[in-house]
Amino acid sequence: MNKRGARPRADRAGALAGVLLAFFTQPARAQSADELLARLDRAAASFTGAKADIRRAIYTAAIRETDLESGAILVRRSSPGQVEFRIDITGDNAYSLVVGAKQAEYYHPMINEVEVYDLRRYRDLAQTLMALGFGMSGRDIQANYAISNVRRDTTSGQPATAMDLAPKSQELVDRLHLQRVELWISDASLAPAQEKVYFRDGDTWTINYSNVQMNIKIPASALELPKNARREKRN
């Protein structure tokens, strides 16, 4: 359940990218890095969609306090090489985030309002983040992150391969103050099991995925927000 806000940090565009990042940092391998990336290449080719429960722990270093939020995520392959997704956070600070190829929509259910962000300026950023776990090939991960410290580990009792990812995009570093990402990929499903995002000021996000269902069919309508909501462009 959602405790204390679940909204993105930093300015809206940066925050949005931050939310994307939080939910899209992905795993790499359980064997050698090369083996894992090769497996991810193969898995990405047949990826259709995914569904999972998510839980994010947001640690604020300045006050040494952690907030929690949880909900569900849907990922859908919209076209070859592209995915779109929807995150629904439940609880007091409920919100939904839908990210497509060109825009991101942030829905406030209490005021029935959708903030619309044009993602075209942040296309590379969004694609890098979006593709990171679900349906992203090993080649793309290598293209966007410097991979290091690949190791065997377990997360939530599952055998997984963990790795450190350093973003190659200066925008991620400058805009989000992002330092690095630790990523755990389930050996069994090749789905992301956990990721930990480290920011320059000591803040971290720890994101856990559970009940992951890979390669399911997600209809486009599942990613639609209420049509009667007031929509407002933000950039």
Partner 1 sequence: MGRRAGPAVPRGVGKAGSRMISRLVLENLRHKPVRTLLSVLLIAVPVTLILCLVGLSRGMLDESVRRARSIGADVFVRPPGSTMFTLGGNMPEAVVAALAKMPHVAIAMGVVNQSVGSLSLVATGISLNQFNRMSGGFTFLRGGPFRGPDDVIIDDYYADQEHKKVGDSIRLLNSDWRICGIIAHGMLARIVFPLDVLQQKTGNRGRVSQVYLKLDNSANTAEVIRYIKDQPGWEDYSIWSSQEFLSLVTTSDPGGLKAFTAVVVGIGVVIGFLVAYLSMYMAVLQRTREIGILKSLGASKTFILGIILTEAGVQGLGGCVVGVLLSYGSRWIIRLLVPASLTMQIVEEWWPIAGGIVLAATVFGAMYPGMNAARQDPIEALSYE
**Residues within the interface to partner 1 (CB under 8 A):** 3-12, 14-15, 60-65, 67, 92-95, 108-113, 175-177, 199-203, 230, 232, 234
- Shorter beta-carbon distance to partner 1: residue 31 or 60: 60
CA distances in angstroms from 129 to 64, 91, 227, listed in the order given: 27, 25, 27
Helices (H), the chain: 12-24, 33-45, 123-131, 138-144, 170-176
- Residue 72 in contact with residue 64, Cβ under 8 Å? no
Min dist CB 210 to partner 1, Å, is: 23
Nearer to partner 1, 112 or 154 (CB): 112
Q: How far is the CB of 177 from partner 1 (least distance, A)?
A: 5
Distances (CA, A) of 5 to 8, 51, 57, 93, 202: 9, 23, 11, 6, 19
Minimum CB separation of residue 116 from partner 1 in Å reads 12
| Residue number with CB closer to partner 1 (62 or 217) | 62
- Comparing CB distances to partner 1, the nearer of 96 and 189 is 96
The neighbour count for residue 62, using CB atoms within 10 Å, is 8
Shortest reach from residue 229's CB to partner 1, in Å = 9
Nearest approach, Cβ of residue 185 and partner 1 (Å): 29
230-233 β-sheet, strand order: 145-155, 158-167, 178-186, 192-199, 204-214, 49-60, 65-79, 82-89, 95-99, 103-108, 113-118, 230-233
**Residue 178 or 190 with smaller CB distance to partner 1:** 178
CA distance 114 to 134: 25
Nearest approach, Cβ of residue 3 and partner 1 (Å): 8
Distance in angstroms (rounded) separating the CA atoms of residues 97 and 85: 8
The two three-digit tokens of residue 166, written as one number: 């350093």
**Cβ nearer to partner 1, comparing 23 with 184:** 23
Cα 96 from Cα 91, distance rounded (Å):
12
